[in-house]
Every structure is written in structure tokens, then in C-alpha cells.
A and B are shown apart, each in its own frame.
Chain A
């Protein structure tokens, strides 16, 4: 049973380019979460999605960032016109249901390290 799969592991983009980060949740998990970890900072929530629905995007920057979780295929975090400040590790997590019930927390992927040059 594969864990949460993220790709690519490392991504280098020039300023102004687009970055696409992909996340395949664990089998049987229908809830996906994206977090960002800036250098020397803690994990910050970005967005929570279910299949074809954005449930909570309160942590997403208002511009240039978008996320989707289509009926088929992985969840995508898209960053348009990247800037140096977007350089960070982006982690995806999945769960079979909303956290808060008697479950085991999220399962995180290994992350995508985005470097903007």
C-alpha cells in the first residue's frame, strides 16, 4: 500500500515561470491537504480539498496560487509567475476523513522542494 506520493521531489523554476506540484493520496483517502514549509519556519496550512471540491483555501495566497483535486488523477498545486519568495518545501497530506475523529492524523508525502532562481 503506497503512501502519499508527491512529484517531482525537486523542482527548479526561473522567476516568472509556472510550477506544478502533484500529489497522489494514499489508497482509500479522499481528503488532501497542502502545507508549505519555508526555510527556518514551521508548516503552514494552505488548502484542504476533497474530490472536485475546495473545502478550505484560507491559507492560500490570494494571487498566483491555485489547487485542484479532480475526479480522476492527482491533486495539483499550481503556482503561476513564481518569485524567489515561493522557494520552499511543499507537502501534501491525505486522510480518509476529516481530522478530529478517532483516526491517526494525516499521512504526509515526502514533499516537493521548489527552488526559484
Chain B
């Protein structure tokens, strides 16, 4: 069974204070690892897909990296508008259909 564990559960940063969120996973053959952002009362918003160890993707202040066991979401010089819950999800080769297994998320708060 695919499993995803995200840490920390919550993170509070000052504006401009860079940090990283962790996503540890176990999966039988990784098809893809996904990062989403979720704002209160809204649906998850897609950020990145990573397919193989060593891959990196960037978007504005966010950079996602992938190893064989974990992924990191690096946030450089965050702004208050980056405050949200960040979700990590995986799809394994043995998963029928297109089911994603999500972690419980990291709630990020960036103070001005």
C-alpha cells in the first residue's frame, strides 16, 4: 500500500525566511509524485509533477526536488501570500486507475 508522510505538520516563517517542506513516501514503483497547494475553503491547486529521482521543478519562489525516498518543497524568500497548506501525493505502478495517495499536508504560515 502506498504511503505518504509530510513534515512538519505546521510551519511558521517570517517573510523572507527560506525553508523546506518534506514528503517521505513508500510506493511500489513510482509513476509520479505531485505537489499541490490548498487554500482554506478551496480545492487543491496543482503545482508540480516529478517522475524520477534527481528531477527538479521550479515555479516562482518554489522548487521541488525528488529522491528515491522523499521529496522536498523548497520555499525561497517566502511572502505572506505563500501561506497555505501544501499537499504531497504519489501514484504507484500497482495502483489501479489513477488513484493518488495524499499526505496530510504541511500548513505554512508566512508572517509579514
Interface residues of chain A, those whose CB is within 8 Å of chain B, are 4, 6, 31, 33, 35, 41-45, 48, 55-56, 58-59, 91, 93, 95, 98-100, 103-111
6 interchain pairs, CB-CB under 8 A: A41-B104, A42-B87, A43-B89, A100-B98, A110-B41, A111-B42
Given A42-B87, A91-B43: A106 and B31 interface contact (C-beta under 8 Å): no
Q: Which A residues are CB-close (under 8 A) to B102?
A: 35, 42-44
Nearest-neighbor residue (CB-CB) of B99 within chain A:
A45
- Alpha-carbon separation in the docked complex, A107 to B101 (Å): 15
Compute how far the CA of A105 lies from the CA of B103 in the bound complex, rounded to whole angstroms. 16
Q: Which A residues are in CB contact (< 8 Å) with B34?
A: 105
Nearest Cβ on chain B to A22's Cβ, whole angstroms:
15
Q: In the docked arrangement, what's the CA distance between A95 and B99, Å?
A: 12
Most chain B beta carbons < 10 A, residue from A42, A56, A107, A111:
A42
Closest B residue to A6 by beta carbon equals: B43
Closest to A46 in B: B99
Which chain A residue has the least Cβ–Cβ distance from B35? A105
Q: A104, B87: Cβ atoms under 8 Å?
A: no
A48 near B42: Cβ-Cβ < 8 Å: no
Determine the chain A residues whose CB is within 8 A of the CB of B42 once the complex forms: 110-111
Give the shortest distance, in Å, between B78 (CB) and chain A (any CB): 23
CA distance A63 to B91 in the complex (A): 26
